Amino acid sequence: MSEKRKGSTSKSRRGHRPGESVRILIPNARVRQRLKQLAREIRRDFPNEPLHLIGVLKGSVFFLADLARELGGEVSFDFLSVSSYGKGIDSTGEVKLIKDLDVSIEGRSVLVVEDILDTGLTLKYLLRFFEEKKPKHLRVVVLLDKVERRIADVRADYTGFTIPNEFVVGYGLDYDERYRNLPDVCVLQFGSRARVKSE
């Protein structure tokens, strides 16, 4: 049985609620394949440089873990947490620091690892925050980019996938803290019957 099929048949394992269903947008295998390419691109730009990865909690956790293992060379991690979304799917546009970095980034080659670029307001806030700390290099890698939704004038240096304007969950991304554990990137749909569709 394929990974995609195994991961898309059990409703109860996935914690779905009535009225919510998911449709696979990017299967895990495709994500992993793309991460290999991204890691190659990043290492081409920074061949011998120790890279300090900063994951934006919590959505980037799987992305960072998988990307870090593809990068090779010297890699360290740190995490920070900001809130830009309350419960649900609409952004308040407000960005607040919830958890600061553990170690200084001064003089380091920093790679910010974000799950998704939507309005861009979070990344705009983060870039200003990091730039003040004087890293040697500051680059951004995002797994997903919803270009249509952009408000702030920001872009990632490395992008996994450009996706349409749909609310996505899985592979770390959540809706009300749920669905992060889905292996695939899925579109969350609201309807009268809870079910899991596979493509």
Q: How far is the CB of 94 from ligand IMP (least distance, A)?
A: 10
Q: How far is the CB of 105 from ligand IMP (least distance, A)?
A: 19
Nearer to ligand IMP, 8 or 84 (CB): 84
Task: Decide: is 109 part of the binding site for ligand IMP (CB under 6 A).
Answer: no
Q: How far is the CB of 68 from ligand IMP (least distance, A)?
A: 18
The residue among 41, 36, 3 whose CA lies nearest residue 158 is 41
Nearer to ligand IMP, 119 or 181 (CB): 119
Region of 3-11, 28-36, 40-48, 120-128 interacting with ligand IMP (CB under 6 A): 120-128
By CB atoms closer than 10 A (0-12, 13-18, 19+), residue 153 is exposed
Peptide bond before 58: cis, by omega within 30 degrees of 0? yes
Nearer to ligand IMP, 92 or 104 (CB): 92
How many Cβ atoms are within 10 Å of 5's Cβ, its own excluded?
Answer: 10
Task: Decide: is 85 part of the binding site for ligand IMP (CB under 6 A).
Answer: yes
Catalytic residue ranges: 118
Confirm if 8 and 164 have CB atoms less than 8 A apart: no
Nearer to ligand IMP, 46 or 154 (CB): 154
What residues numbered 46-75 form the site for ligand IMP, per CB under 6 A? 56, 59
> Are β-strands 91-99 and 75-85 bridged in parallel, bridged antiparallel, or unpaired?
antiparallel
> Looking at this protein, which amino acid is placed at residue 20?
E
Task: Decide: is 173 part of the binding site for ligand IMP (CB under 6 A).
Answer: yes
Q: How far is the CB of 33 from ligand IMP (least distance, A)?
A: 21
Cα dihedral 111→181→194→91 (10° resolution): -30
The residue among 147, 169, 166, 167 whose CA lies nearest residue 156 is 147
Tell me which residues touch ligand IMP (CB under 6 A): 56, 59, 84-85, 91, 114-123, 167-169, 173
